[in-house]
Structure formats: C-alpha cells, structure tokens
Structure 1
Amino acid sequence: MNEQVARDVVLVRAIETMDRKHEILSDDDRMYASRSARELAEWQASDSKSAVTIDHFLQQRSEQILKRLSERMPALRAFLRRGVGSTSLSAGLPLLALLFGAGVDRISDPHRVDLLSAPLLAIIGWNLLVYLVLLAWLFVPASNTGWASAGIVRHLAAGALPRKLPSTLTAALVEFMAEWSRLCGKLTQLRLSRTLHLAAALFAVGAVLSLVARGFLTQYVAGWESTFLDAAQVHTALSVLFAPAAWLFQLPGFSAADIEALRFTQAASQALTQAVSPPSAAGGKRWVLLYTATMLLLVVLPRLVLAAVAHWRARRIAANFPLDLEQPYFRQLRGKMGGPAGVLRVLPYSFTLDEARDRGLASVAAMLLGEQAQVMLRPSSGYGDEPVDALGGAALIDPAISLTAVLFNLAATPENENHGAFLEHLLRASPRGVAVLIDESSLLERLAAQAGGRSRVDERIALWQQFCAHHRATAMIVNLLEPQARPLDQGAA
C-alpha cells in the first residue's frame, strides 16, 4: 500500500484501539465498515481479475470509517484533508534560498569582483564541509530519525493536533501522531534532506545569477586585498580552488604575476606614483566565469544529485510503505475479510494451566487475533531447564503461527538466570518477536483476602515490567480466570 493508505489505516487503528467503550465507533459502525470493505475489495479484485488482498480490504475499510467520522465531526475534516508530506516547506524553502542567494554577493562592492570574496568562498567552503560530514555519516550508526530531531519529524509527519474533538478521539489522534511519526521517520528525513539539498543548490544558483546578471549592467574591476596573505599564497589557494572548473571547462589560467598585478593596494600605489590608470575591467569577465563554473561544479551539481537521490528513495518508500500487517490488530481484520484464523502459540514457563485458565487463554487469543483465533498450547517448560531442551526442538519460525507468546506466572519472582535466559533465547530465535503474557490470577487468589494485597500485586507487576523492559520486551498482564478484567490493546503485541 502507498503512504496515504497506510496513514489512513494507522489512524483508524489508533481510533479503534483507544475507543475501548465504542463511544466514537459503535459496533454497527465497525461491522458495516468491515462488510462494505469486504464487498468493495471483492469487486475490485474481480474487476482486475486478481485475488482479494488485505491491502485492498484495509484501504476500503479505513476510507469508510474516516468518511463517517468526518461527517459527524467537522473539526476532524481538516486533519484528514492534510496530505502526506509538507508541500509548503518543500516548495517555500528552496524559493527563499534562491532569493537570499541572489542578494548575498551584494554585501561587497557591486562594481568589483573580489578574488577573495568572502560570501562566495563561504558558500563553497560550507558545501565542501557538508559533503565531508555526509561521507562520515555513512559510517555512523543511524538513530531512528537520523540527524533530524524527533520534534521536527513529528511535526512534519503528523502536523498539528486539531481542537474541539471528543477526549477519546483526541487521545487517539495523539497516539496516531506518535506512531505515525515513528513509522515514517525515515521517509520524513529523506524529504527534509531533499528540500535542504535543493535549497542549497538554489542558494548558489541565486548568487551566480546575481553575479552574472549585474555583469551585463556593471563594469567589474577584478582584484584582491589581504592583510595576512601575499600574492604567492593567494595564487596557490585560488589555483587549487579553480583547478576542477578550469580543467573541465577549459578556462584560461593565471600566474602569480597576474595575481600580484590585481592587488588593489598595488594598483592604487602605481596609479599615484607612476600616473597610470587603476586596474582595468578586462580581467573581470575571466574571474566571473571561474567563480560561476566553480559554484556549478562544486555546489549546484552535487546538491542536485543528492536531492535527486533523496527524492528517488522517498518515492520508493511512499509507493510501497513498510507497514507490518502481521500485528494482532491486522490479524483480527484478516479474519473479518474471510482470511485464515490466527494461531496463538503459547509457551508456558514453569506454569501448568488448569481447564479454567485454558479457556481464559482462548479469550486472550480472541482479543489478540480475532474471534476465530486458535490456541496452540505447548507443554510447560521446567524451572531451570536449558531453553533448547525445554522447547523440545519446537521450530520457532513457522509461517502458520500468527503470534508466539511466552506465558509467565505473576506469582513467580523473575530471575535473570532462569526466566531471563528463557526469554532471551526466544527473542534471539524468533525474528518476528515474542509476546510476553504474565498471568495475575494465581497471585490475586492468594492475596485477595490479605490487607494490602492489591498493592503487593501492583508491586509485583512493576517488577515484571521492569524485568521485561531490561530484556527489550513488553510485559502484557492478563487474568486467565477473568480475561475481560485485563482487556488487551489490539496492537499491544
């Protein structure tokens, strides 16, 4: 699916997940959207003579839900109409850069070409430094958003939060904006890079155009002056700077004597003592051409190439947005479109389930994978057993399994050498990840009649959550005797 469809799907998921009491979307709304989406997806598939895909179903369903919500809540309409990407920044920043570049060379004398022009040398030097930083950045491990801050990525990706909405919908939009900025962080960074590269190129173009355009109306006098540099040093520096452009475009060179003759103080002294005219404008054209060719070669062309590469990469991601459709929320919807029932594989650790808790596990599977979900309960692993021996050779990579979950008992105290070793083995051996379910029912039964029992349960929950976070996993607390007492978020796993 493309970026716009993925954005709508993620937004609908946030709304449905946060709307636990069905205040925004009733059961009828959800059933109607699913039924209409299934029919439209089937019609679309038959028209194109292809199979019904989850992408088509999710697209149609999200369109149905968002259309209905926008009709009920006008304040949401503007947020939904906001397109993906930031077109105002993408177009406005390069245009401003072009205008600023056109005025940068007017800082100096408009009637002369300064061989050591600070604005032009600064443009070239800054861009060369940027190229070095970009080259070094290739060898630095990238973070989630790269060089751009999380706040900038969030604003560019999700925009501003609309007002005058129900509290539940506002919470859902906050959740969506955080999730969407995470999902499209790489795409936003590429678009921002494209804009900055294009702006840098147009800034240099503006400076060059201004320099050349004024040459048609003004007679330039070429020269230089410096307190610390002599003619030989200036000749060496300019020879290195202009060498690529002079070689590529076959422009005439210059000698150290030419540089010495163009010193403004030297020319002025000769004019006073020898009664000769000040430096002529004959050489002005040559230096304008050298600076123009150098700017095009070292700034404009590389920046345009970098902008084109970023644009191409961004278009690839936007056309085929990487949205994980194996999450429990999408597994539930796959069942509503007539897809295969999800399978929850449960690996208990030092925990034997009775009949009542086994039924509760089926309810948990329905929360995660839909009403038709099935449970594959593996034999319990013994306390202290080696993870490989405890699993009995079970293949953790199985395409028929929708979700693998390890089940712990909240009554147990987590230990790194036992529970932690088992969890770490599962995480390493399961590329798709492992859900962590922690049943509180046994501990609640034991402490229900004791004073302060609830606080002790909360302390144990906090301990397990900290333990799982240390092992880069998320603890989901369940109650297998009363599953509805701990409703799971559909996207939690």
Structure 2
Amino acid sequence: MLDEPQTKRLLLLQALWEVDENRVVLQENMVGRLPLEIAEDLEGPVAKDEEPAWLDRIATRLEERLRQRHQLDLSKLATVPLSSRAAFSFGAVFALAMGAATNYLGTEPEINLLLNPFMLLLLWHFGVYLAMVSLGLFGWKRRGTKNPISWLLPQLIKTIPRLTARFSRDDTTLNREQSRVRQTARLRFLELWFHQCGRFAHARVAMLLHLLAIFFALGVVLGLYFRALVQAYSFTWSSTFIRDQETLRQFLSWVFRPVLWIFPDGLPPLAQSAHAGDWIHLFALSALIYIAIPRLAMLFWQSGRHRRFRRQGFALDTAVDPFRRWLSALRGEAAQVRIWLYGYTPDRSTTPRLERLARELWGQRLSRIRLDKIEWGEDEVPLEPPAPNEHPVTLAVVLVFNGAQTPETEVHGAFVRHLTTFLSDHPSDCTLLIVVDHQKIPLDRAEERRTAWQRVLESAEVVHSYWTDLSNPESFSETSLTSIAQTLWRPQ
C-alpha cells in the first residue's frame, strides 16, 4: 500500500503519460531505460506486494529528472483544491465573515421574525438533514444508480484549476504545448484521484463542508449580537396566512421545540414591542442545537473515516500504463516466452511485433524468447516438463491462430485443451495468450468467423482471446496493451 503523497505522485505520472501523446514532457529518453536502471538493484523477481514500493522508487527518480529538465514539481501539480490546511483555515474565516455579513442585507430597524437570515439558515439545514436521511434510508446503491454527489463533487473541484488557468499568466519558460500538457494532466489527475481514492477524497471534502457550515452559523449569530450592540431594533412579523399571535406562537414552538424542551420559557412574547435580545438568545441556542452539535458530530465522524482510510493506504491499478510497462522490467528476470504459430506463416513484419508484445507484457529482461511453428493437426504440446531439481520460472505462451482457417473443435480446440492441461500441471507461473489473426478474412465474413472461433475456444474452457490483424502496426499499440493484458489465461 502507498501513502497519500506517493499515490498522488504516481497518479499524476499516469495522467501525464495519458495526455502527453507527443512526449513533450515525459520524453522517451527520460523514461525508457529508467525501470531497467531501477531493476539493477533487484536480487530476484518482484513480489506482488512489493510492486507499489518499486513503483514509488521509479516515480521518485523520474520526479528528479522532471525537476531538472522541465522545472516541474510534481508535489505542486498533484494537489487537490480545497483539501489543504490553508484551504480549511481560509474557508473557516471566509464563512464566518459571510455569515456575519448576512445581518446587513437590510437596513430596517425591524426584522421580520419569519423571514430573516437565521430562519433561512435553519430551513437550509432542515433540507440538508432530510436529504441525508433520505439517501441513508433509500440509498442510490439499492436502486443500482450512481450517487449524484459522487459525480458532481469531482466536477465542481475540477472547475477551480480551470478558472486558475484562465486567469493566470503562462510561464514564459514553457512553450504552449508543455503548458497544455500540464493543465490537461492536472484535470486528468483529479479524475484519477477521485476514481482511485474516492472515499478518502469525499471524506475530506465533507469535513470542509461541515466546518464551513459551523462557522457560517457562528457568523450569523455573532452578527446578530454585534448589530444589537450598535443598533436598536426589534423583531416583528407579518403573514398572509398566519394572522393571530396564537397561531404564530404554535408555529414557532414547533420550529424551536428541541430548544424549548431544554429551556421551557425560552420563547419570548410576540408583542410588537418585545425586546429583541430574547429572540437573539433563542436563535443562538437554536444554532447550537440544530447546527453546531449535529455538524460537529458529522465532522468528527468524517474525520475518523479520513484517518482510517489514510492508515489503510491506497492501492493502484498496476495493469494500466505506465505502471504495467514499468513493472514489466521488474517482473521478467527469469521469464521464458514461447511464441507458437499454429498452421501458418505470417509475413516477416509480424515476428518483431510479437516479440515486442512479449517484452511489454512479461518484462524487458526476459531470459529467453523463442518462436516456433506448429504443424496443422498437431495436438501434442512441444514442451518438456522441467527437471525435478530445476527452479520454477515464469513460462508464458503466445499461441497464434490463422483466423482465415475454419476453426475445428477436434483440431484447434483439442490443441488448446492439451495446452491448458499441460500449463495447469506445470510448476512454473504460467500464462497463456491466444491471438487470432484475421488479416486474410473478408470483411463481410469477419464477424461470423470471429463467433466461430469464440465458440471453439470456449469449448476448450478459454474464455478470452485477442482478435486482431497482425499486419496492422496498431495491433500492439499502447492503447491495445491494456485490453490484451485482460485476455491472458492463467491456470486456476
């Protein structure tokens, strides 16, 4: 598991890798051999639980190079708006000032008892509490739909760097393309952050919202007391439907009932000349009971969740670029790859692509890559079991079929069944990738032939295969490698 700074740094590098298509920031000569340099410190293959630590070592080394070459500080770029201590402090002061300022929206010496900033604040919190209870009782997860807050929150957060980029001046030391990559990577980083660490990020934002609500309510109450010090005013009331004092008293006693349970005589008289100070004291107690105590409780609860998620650490999806590419150099210390062409011979350009695919999937330090041709109709696996005293290694097989051939269960399916049985009994860490080359199939028959191949392979208990045109250079592009990795077959 990774801590928060490590996770942010790696996610920012992933974002840079995805958006920097022309490699103006993550240049190939900067990244290319870096995993191999790190791998020189290895004494053996990297275990699964050690992968995050090695990824962090690669990211640390890469961060140093980015700082030297592009003056790029990843720690400053990998920041989430409204999540720092400064944002919490500034937000609290700003909310306090805004709450106090609401008392000066009107200059009349009389304040409407039913329509004033504090009553609107209570109405807002009642609506918030009702929405929270509704989501808890009739949650979106039970209905199989996505919580709109989980979608809306990242969108709101992403508007902050957009506005900052719009009103800030570009650094003259950067060209336009580098500036575009940085800004786009920042937005992509925020998407990855909320996707990978959503619960942690949501807990932090919830803490900020509860803190702002507390200080805003405090500002409203302090504004009432301060205005009472410098101005003499009284509370009055007027309503189309509530015409007598008794009805108004019943309504207010219902609104402030929890306060009146504690202070039975807390409701002031409703005479027009009533002293306004009694109402201010009632509003202050109501703010404590309705807003401060519930919000503090939720703030402490979210703070506990936030600390728990931080202690647990963060996990990354290492099957995506560039992590899969970097880890391939660390995983392939003793790997052997066998590439078998079943019953046909592709053009010469296919062999280098298949070998590059092997290096991308199983490591750039493979001990051996061997390409062989298997005659059509062969059902014996051309592999010998390892000797009893031989140390098990990683064994990867890339089996290439000619999609133009008619798939037969007794031929192609039988060979796949023999192969999966052999790999299941093999003591090594075995992986199988089945590639079906459809370059010689007419377009009007491609879908029909693909369905036939899927049916034959499924009969051999191999669910996934990679259907591609080996003559196309994009068959093994970076965008395709992630989907290829998802089609790998491993013994159960």
* Superposition TM-score, scaled by structure 2 size: 0.65
C-alpha distance in structure 1 between counterparts of 2:287 and 2:351, whole Å = 73
Structure 1 residues 38-79: Cα deviation after superposition (integer angstroms, max 9, x where no partner): 65x99xxxxxxx9993223222221222222222223x34x6
Structure 1 residue 156: Cα displacement: 5.3
Q: Name 2:354's counterpart in structure 1.
A: 361
- Out of 193, 206, 209, the residue aligned to residue 222 of structure 2 is 209
Q: Which residue identity lines up with residue 84 of structure 1 in the other structure?
A: T
Structure 1 residues 188 and 345 mapped into 2: Cα distance closer, same or farther (>3 Å)? farther
Structure 1 residues 176 and 68 mapped into 2: Cα distance closer, same or farther (>3 Å)? same
Within the alignment, does 1:291 sit opposite 2:279 as a pair? no
Within the alignment, does 1:119 sit opposite 2:136 as a pair? no
Answer whether contact 2:259 2:286 (CA < 8 A) is retained. yes
Structure 1 residues 14-56: Cα deviation after superposition (integer angstroms, max 9, x where no partner): 55675787985454765356535865x99xxxxxxx9993223
Within the alignment, does 1:192 sit opposite 2:205 as a pair? yes
Please state whether the residue corresponding to 1:85 is helix, strand or coil: coil
Q: Which residue identity lines up with residue 135 of structure 1 in the other structure?
A: V
Structure 1 residue 416: Cα displacement: 11
Q: Which residue identity lines up with residue 68 of structure 2 in the other structure?
A: E
Answer whether contact 2:396 2:431 (CA < 8 A) is retained. no
Q: Which residue identity lines up with residue 12 of structure 1 in the other structure?
A: L
Within the alignment, does 1:414 sit opposite 2:411 as a pair? no
Structure 1 residues 118 and 213 mapped into 2: Cα distance closer, same or farther (>3 Å)? closer
Q: Name 1:371's counterpart in structure 2.
A: 364
Between 95-104 and 10-19, report the one with greater CA deviation: 10-19
C-alpha distance in structure 2 between counterparts of 1:210 and 1:302, whole Å = 22
C-alpha distance in structure 1 between counterparts of 2:300 and 2:334, whole Å = 44
Within the alignment, does 1:31 sit opposite 2:33 as a pair? yes
Structure 1 residue 12: Cα displacement: 3.4
Q: Which residue identity lines up with residue 81 of structure 1 in the other structure?
A: K
Q: Name 1:55's counterpart in structure 2.
A: 52
Please state whether the residue corresponding to 1:146 is helix, strand or coil: helix
Within the alignment, does 1:65 sit opposite 2:30 as a pair? no
Answer whether contact 1:335 1:341 (CA < 8 A) is retained. no
C-alpha distance in structure 2 between counterparts of 1:377 and 1:294, whole Å = 71
Structure 1 residue 242: Cα displacement: 0.7
C-alpha distance in structure 2 between counterparts of 1:417 and 1:237, whole Å = 72
Answer whether contact 1:384 1:418 (CA < 8 A) is retained. no
C-alpha distance in structure 1 between counterparts of 2:482 and 2:214, whole Å = 43
Structure 1 residue 194: Cα displacement: 3.0
Structure 1 residues 383 and 336 mapped into 2: Cα distance closer, same or farther (>3 Å)? closer
Q: Name 2:326's counterpart in structure 1.
A: 333
Q: Which residue identity lines up with residue 101 of structure 1 in the other structure?
A: G
Structure 1 residue 182: Cα displacement: 2.4
Structure 1 residues 167 and 340 mapped into 2: Cα distance closer, same or farther (>3 Å)? farther
Structure 1 residue 103: Cα displacement: 1.9
Structure 1 residue 154: Cα displacement: 3.3
Answer whether contact 2:9 2:78 (CA < 8 A) is retained. no
C-alpha distance in structure 1 between counterparts of 2:457 and 2:310, whole Å = 35
Q: Name 2:383's counterpart in structure 1.
A: none
Q: Which residue identity lines up with residue 4 of structure 1 in the other structure?
A: P
Between 216-225 and 59-68, report the one with greater CA deviation: 216-225
Please state whether the residue corresponding to 1:246 is helix, strand or coil: helix
- Out of 120, 126, 130, the residue aligned to residue 128 of structure 1 is 126
Answer whether contact 1:328 1:368 (CA < 8 A) is retained. no
Structure 1 residues 245-291: Cα deviation after superposition (integer angstroms, max 9, x where no partner): 222x334255xxx75xx242xxxxxxxxxxxxxx252xx44322221
Structure 1 residues 177 and 405 mapped into 2: Cα distance closer, same or farther (>3 Å)? farther
C-alpha distance in structure 2 between counterparts of 1:102 and 1:191, whole Å = 26
Q: Which residue identity lines up with residue 315 of structure 2 in the other structure?
A: P
Structure 1 residues 227 and 10 mapped into 2: Cα distance closer, same or farther (>3 Å)? closer
Answer whether contact 1:344 1:404 (CA < 8 A) is retained. no
Q: Name 1:233's counterpart in structure 2.
A: 247
Structure 1 residue 152: Cα displacement: 3.0
Answer whether contact 2:35 2:329 (CA < 8 A) is retained. no
Q: Which residue identity lines up with residue 59 of structure 2 in the other structure?
A: S
Between 119-128 and 197-206, report the one with greater CA deviation: 197-206
Q: Which residue identity lines up with residue 366 of structure 1 in the other structure?
A: R
Structure 1 residues 64 and 296 mapped into 2: Cα distance closer, same or farther (>3 Å)? same
C-alpha distance in structure 1 between counterparts of 2:335 and 2:134, whole Å = 46
Structure 1 residues 397 and 122 mapped into 2: Cα distance closer, same or farther (>3 Å)? farther
C-alpha distance in structure 2 between counterparts of 1:169 and 1:424, whole Å = 47
Please state whether the residue corresponding to 1:225 is helix, strand or coil: coil
- Out of 79, 82, 88, the residue aligned to residue 84 of structure 1 is 79
Answer whether contact 2:335 2:362 (CA < 8 A) is retained. yes
- Correspondences of 1:385-400 after superposition (within 5 Å): none
Between 325-334 and 150-159, report the one with greater CA deviation: 150-159
C-alpha distance in structure 1 between counterparts of 2:457 and 2:182, whole Å = 34
Q: Name 1:301's counterpart in structure 2.
A: 293
Structure 1 residues 132-156: Cα deviation after superposition (integer angstroms, max 9, x where no partner): 2233345123269725265434355
Between 52-61 and 98-107, report the one with greater CA deviation: 52-61
Structure 1 residues 117 and 202 mapped into 2: Cα distance closer, same or farther (>3 Å)? same
Structure 1 residues 303 and 38 mapped into 2: Cα distance closer, same or farther (>3 Å)? farther
Q: Name 1:438's counterpart in structure 2.
A: 467
- Out of 252, 256, 270, the residue aligned to residue 242 of structure 1 is 256
Structure 1 residues 128 and 337 mapped into 2: Cα distance closer, same or farther (>3 Å)? same
Q: Which residue identity lines up with residue 409 of structure 1 in the other structure?
A: D
Answer whether contact 1:103 1:207 (CA < 8 A) is retained. yes
Structure 1 residues 243 and 166 mapped into 2: Cα distance closer, same or farther (>3 Å)? same
Please state whether the residue corresponding to 1:414 is helix, strand or coil: helix
Residue identity (%): 19
Answer whether contact 2:224 2:280 (CA < 8 A) is retained. yes
Answer whether contact 1:344 1:365 (CA < 8 A) is retained. yes
C-alpha distance in structure 2 between counterparts of 1:157 and 1:423, whole Å = 52
Structure 1 residues 406 and 316 mapped into 2: Cα distance closer, same or farther (>3 Å)? farther
C-alpha distance in structure 1 between counterparts of 2:320 and 2:337, whole Å = 12
Q: Name 1:469's counterpart in structure 2.
A: none
Please state whether the residue corresponding to 1:407 is helix, strand or coil: strand
C-alpha distance in structure 1 between counterparts of 2:365 and 2:79, whole Å = 35
Answer whether contact 2:97 2:219 (CA < 8 A) is retained. yes
Structure 1 residues 414 and 227 mapped into 2: Cα distance closer, same or farther (>3 Å)? same
Between 87-96 and 12-21, report the one with greater CA deviation: 12-21
Q: Which runs of 5+ in 1 are unaligned?
A: 43-49, 265-278, 445-456, 458-475
- RMSD between aligned residues: 5.0
